[in-house]
Structure 1
Amino acid sequence: MTRRLLLSHLSLILLVLLALEVPFGVFYGRSELSRFSHAAQQSAMTLAAVCEEKMEHGLSADLPDVARDYGRRTHSRVLVTGHEGAVLTDTAARAPVGENLSAEADISTALSGHPAVVTRDGPAPGGEVLFVTVPGGSAATVPCVVRTVYALGPLRARVHTVWLVLGVVGLGVLATVSLIGFALARSITRPVQALERATAQLAEGRITDPPATDHGPPELRRLAASFTRTATRLQHLLQAQQAFSSEVSHQLKTPLTALRLRLENFEPYLAPCAQDSLDQALAEMERLSRMVQGLLALARLEASAISPVAVGLDAVVADRAAVWTAFAEEQGVGITVSGSAGVRVWAVPGALEQIIDNLLSNALRVSPPGTAVTLATVTAQRENGRTPPVAELHVVDQGPGMTEADRARAFDRFWRAPDADHDGTGLGLPVVRRLAHAGGGDVTLEAAPGGGLDAVVRLRCADSHPHRERPVTSADRRGHRSTQSGVGPAGGRP
């Protein structure tokens, strides 16, 4: 932004300088040539009058001396002809005495009583000369013609010097304006950069360097003050939400546990006909506990700002498959693991385990006995071919599957499929998506080729996408273990 402001400022000043200096330089060059030509013509007319007087008194022999004296004083070449155009004297000795030059344009014009001022190329390369030819006398018959020739090199040198001075002055003005413009641009962009840093810090969860409200233009000062108030308010809200999540997790666990114990204590005293109602109450109690844990997990995820770390995908998949194998065998369902080895992905600490637990719980809930749940890892290249590849984790079951409309709504909070059992809370898949997004990935539900559902988790490969790793603290591990407390072999399906 500083560079753009400075360039726009300099462009405007450059246009102004060009609009002023170029016309001035052109006008100066033309006026100097005109002044020099007029002075040379007046001087030549004076010389012509002297030559006319010499010739009237029969002193034509003095013409060479007069011409040489004039040429030395004016640094010019002088040529004098008679009334018929014959050369009387030439200080440069280029035209012999007696040669008739009446055929030349300027001599012919002067013999007709009119002066001629022309510019021609000189014998030297790039050298211009000025021809000033005037008649001697104003009578009907011109007694003599005087031609003076001046080299324009010194005049052009003066004009070029003026152009050089104009260029130096223009560069000096541009340099001065650049310093002033840079200072002004910095005074504008410095508060903007401070706001940018503060915004990045706010995105990380906490502002450690708030923007100053006493620098820059008044508009940016007011913007910085408004941003600081807004950021402070947001931090207070985030802190209140985190405090609420922490306190509610303790406040709700105790009464729910006590209520469950009281319901279980009723069992010995209930009639057999009330046993089903007690079981339903305990099931609803269990569902309420899972729902509370899911809500708390979502609240913690939305309030936290933990950086992803590199995780070995195949190792986590193998570990979770081993944990769930015993539960799957009780239902007569197998778990198959396949795919690439050594794949590392970016994920929030503990998130990958919870994602697999939720998806396996859902898959095992709908898998008929005698079928298998497949965990497959695949490395796929992006469609544009320029961005780094991603690792895909497929959790494929052989259950009844879901319609396209149900798959589109499956990630809505508290939504459950119409044919789902009543144990689910509708929070498992929203938690999975939130955890995948926290690591820069995504999750979708697709129809499996042989029937059933294919839950596809796409995560960025750690080996091809540079990312700043942050050490995982014990607080991170405790926080993410607490988000997993409601997921396990008894987890719910939407």
Structure 2
Amino acid sequence: MTRRLLLGYLSLAVLILLSLGIPLGYVYSRAEREQIISSAEDEAESVSAFASLSIMAGRERRELPDRARHCAERIRGRVVIVGDDGRLLATSHALSATESRTLASRPEIAAALRGRDAIDVRTSTIGGVRYLSVAAPVVHGDDLQGAVRLTVPTDAVESRVHRIWLLLAVGGLAVLTAIAAVGLVFARWTSRPILELERFAHRLADGQFTTPAPVTSGPPEVRSLAATFNQTAARLEHLLASQRAFAAEASHQLKTPLAALRLRLDNLEAEMTGHARDSLNAAMTETDRLARMVEGLLAMARMEESAVTPEPVDLDQVCAERLLTWTPLFEQHKAQLALLGDQVGHALAVPGAMEQILDNLLSNALRATPLGSTVTMVLRCTAPDHRHLPTRPAWIELHVIDEGPGMTADQRRRAFDRFWRAPDAPKGGTGLGLSLVQRLAHVSGGEATLARAPGGGLDAAIRLRPAPRASQGRPSRIGLPRRARSDRSTPEAAPSSARSPV
């Protein structure tokens, strides 16, 4: 902002200086040229009057050469006097025979011999020097007696004109330097409180509400903005504190009665028979579902109450741990869990987010997959597309692919909505799993999507940014079942996606 303000001040100053300096230089240059022309015309008229008297008295051969030399010395130029027939009467400098014969044909002298009362002004270059030529007729009454030509060098005038342009340029640079210094001070004074406000905004985004932004410096508009920002930050802090208190109280107030209710239902199981036992089992299932729903809501509330920063996470290690944890449960349901793909290294994710994401996706896949089928976790790296986006970084993709019934395109679009469940979804889901998965992917700087798997099931994919190499530690190795690492080639899969809660 400081640079933009300074550039604005300098641009305005340059526009003003050009608007004033160029006309001033032009007016001065024109005045200097008009002055030398006026002086040359006066000298020409003076010599013309003297030559007329000398010719009338018959003393032109004796008086005119001296007069021409004196006048040439005074104007530092040249003087030539010719008669009415074009013959040379006097000159202040030596002329060649050719120049003497062609004097009458010179444009300015010919014009003076034709125009009697006219004074012809011309400019010419002789020997690399610019001259101003002024010719005036020599007349007595109505009789034309000859003509006078004065040539005055204009180098002195040009030098003065160049000097004034140089002075204007130097003066303009000095003014611009002064304006730049003053503008820099003013720009810094204006932008300093805005930069401070930006710094406090970043601290607010990081969850730091301790110190309010200063409201005592800067322009009035900036001070008003800082005061409004502090009010917003205070209100936001109050709202987050209320939400944090609600999450803490709800965690205690909801979990305890649900646990007591589940215990009472367990105690009633031995006394129930027939249809009553079926109703009891249904009540216990709904109680478990309510408990999971409460856990999901509290997890989302805890995630929203404070800002979190993604950190490098060893994705290979996390997937290996989840494989070891979930394999026994899959075997109980007569299904298989496999980990395929490449070693992808570290990805940026919120601490603990990948474990929660995999637990939700694997739980959904286990409920949806038929007996004897396989749920596959696939890791792969997406190389940058240098043809279209040369600066686009690579992605790390994690796919969870099942062999269940899958979802329609409309169901996949709604799958990330809170509490939404597919009409034919298995019992036990809460409708919060995929919503939590999507939110965790977003706060980690990635995305979650759903697509149809090649075999007709669902392909739930998480895309994450790779961690910078400098921040990656030494990858840890975890022993895996032989089946999990027997085939590291990536199977054919649909585009990246994520799974809807079922």
Is TM > 0.5 for Structure 1 vs Structure 2? yes
Q: Indicate the SS of the match to 2:429.
A: coil
1:162 to 161, 164, 171: 164
Shift of 1:415: 1.3
Q: Indicate the SS of the match to 2:258.
A: helix
Would the alpha carbon gap of residues 221 and 467 (structure 1) be closer, same or farther in structure 2, given more than 3 Å must change?
Answer: farther
In structure 2, runs of 5+ residues without a counterpart are 474-499
One-letter amino acid matched to 2:143: T
Counterpart-to-counterpart distance in 1, 2:58 and 2:273: 163
Partner of 1:420: 425
2:176 to 154, 174, 177: 174
Q: Does 1:114 align with 2:117?
A: yes
Shift of 1:273: 5.3
Shift of 1:229: 0.5
Counterpart-to-counterpart distance in 1, 2:100 and 2:264: 144
Counterpart-to-counterpart distance in 2, 1:27 and 1:311: 74
Shift of 1:207: 4.2
Counterpart-to-counterpart distance in 2, 1:138 and 1:174: 60
Counterpart-to-counterpart distance in 2, 1:439 and 1:53: 107
Partner of 1:10: 10
Q: Indicate the SS of the match to 1:118.
A: strand
Partner of 1:27: 27
One-letter amino acid matched to 2:89: L
Partner of 2:37: 37
Counterpart-to-counterpart distance in 2, 1:321 and 1:468: 23
Decide whether the 8 Å contact of 1:37 with 1:117 is kept in 2.
no
Q: Indicate the SS of the match to 1:412.
A: coil
Q: Indicate the SS of the match to 1:420.
A: coil
Pairs within 5 Å for 1:114-193 = 114-125=117-128, 127-193=129-195
Q: Indicate the SS of the match to 2:214.
A: coil
> What are the Cα deviations for residues 406-430 of structure 1, in whole angstroms up to 9, with x where unaligned?
2221111111121223321111111
Decide whether the 8 Å contact of 2:52 with 2:140 is kept in 1.
no
Counterpart-to-counterpart distance in 2, 1:468 and 1:342: 12
Shift of 1:180: 3.1
Would the alpha carbon gap of residues 429 and 47 (structure 1) be closer, same or farther in structure 2, given more than 3 Å must change?
Answer: same
Would the alpha carbon gap of residues 242 and 314 (structure 1) be closer, same or farther in structure 2, given more than 3 Å must change?
Answer: same
One-letter amino acid matched to 1:103: S
Decide whether the 8 Å contact of 1:389 with 1:461 is kept in 2.
yes
Would the alpha carbon gap of residues 100 and 277 (structure 1) be closer, same or farther in structure 2, given more than 3 Å must change?
Answer: closer
Counterpart-to-counterpart distance in 1, 2:110 and 2:399: 104
Pairs within 5 Å for 1:382-401 = 384-386=388-390, 387-401=392-406
Shift of 1:242: 1.8
Shift of 1:326: 0.8
One-letter amino acid matched to 2:169: G
Counterpart-to-counterpart distance in 1, 2:342 and 2:100: 109
Q: Indicate the SS of the match to 2:143.
A: coil
2:447 to 418, 438, 442: 442
One-letter amino acid matched to 1:35: Q
Decide whether the 8 Å contact of 1:117 with 1:130 is kept in 2.
no
Shift of 1:98: 6.9
Partner of 1:367: 369
In structure 1, runs of 5+ residues without a counterpart are 470-491
* Number of residue equivalences: 470
| C-alpha RMSD of the superposition | 2.5
Greater Cα offset, 425-434 or 99-108: 99-108
Shift of 1:355: 0.9
Counterpart-to-counterpart distance in 1, 2:418 and 2:100: 117
- Taking structure 1 as the reference length, the TM-score comes to 0.88
Partner of 1:317: 319
Q: Indicate the SS of the match to 1:142.
A: strand
Would the alpha carbon gap of residues 85 and 273 (structure 1) be closer, same or farther in structure 2, given more than 3 Å must change?
Answer: closer
Shift of 1:290: 1.1
Pairs within 5 Å for 1:29-428 = 29-60=29-60, 61-95=62-96, 99=101, 101-112=103-114, 113-125=116-128, 127-207=129-209, 210-270=212-272, 274-381=276-383, 384-386=388-390, 387-428=392-433
Greater Cα offset, 149-158 or 97-106: 97-106
Shift of 1:272: 5.9
Counterpart-to-counterpart distance in 2, 1:194 and 1:48: 80
Q: Does 1:452 align with 2:474?
A: no
Q: Indicate the SS of the match to 2:262.
A: helix
Greater Cα offset, 274-283 or 392-401: 274-283
Counterpart-to-counterpart distance in 1, 2:454 and 2:271: 52
- Taking structure 2 as the reference length, the TM-score comes to 0.87
Q: Indicate the percent of aligned positions where both proteins have the same amino acid.
A: 44
Partner of 2:434: 429
Shift of 1:319: 1.2
Q: Indicate the SS of the match to 2:340.
A: strand
Greater Cα offset, 32-41 or 10-19: 10-19
One-letter amino acid matched to 1:53: L
Would the alpha carbon gap of residues 88 and 209 (structure 1) be closer, same or farther in structure 2, given more than 3 Å must change?
Answer: farther
Decide whether the 8 Å contact of 2:81 with 2:90 is kept in 1.
yes
Shift of 1:439: 1.0
Decide whether the 8 Å contact of 1:101 with 1:107 is kept in 2.
yes
Decide whether the 8 Å contact of 1:426 with 1:493 is kept in 2.
yes
Decide whether the 8 Å contact of 1:78 with 1:147 is kept in 2.
yes
Shift of 1:225: 1.2
Counterpart-to-counterpart distance in 1, 2:270 and 2:303: 42
Decide whether the 8 Å contact of 1:311 with 1:346 is kept in 2.
yes
Counterpart-to-counterpart distance in 1, 2:458 and 2:400: 8
Q: Indicate the SS of the match to 1:137.
A: strand
Shift of 1:197: 2.4
One-letter amino acid matched to 2:293: M
One-letter amino acid matched to 1:439: S
Decide whether the 8 Å contact of 1:83 with 1:141 is kept in 2.
no
Would the alpha carbon gap of residues 100 and 362 (structure 1) be closer, same or farther in structure 2, given more than 3 Å must change?
Answer: closer
Would the alpha carbon gap of residues 100 and 306 (structure 1) be closer, same or farther in structure 2, given more than 3 Å must change?
Answer: closer
Counterpart-to-counterpart distance in 1, 2:191 and 2:471: 28
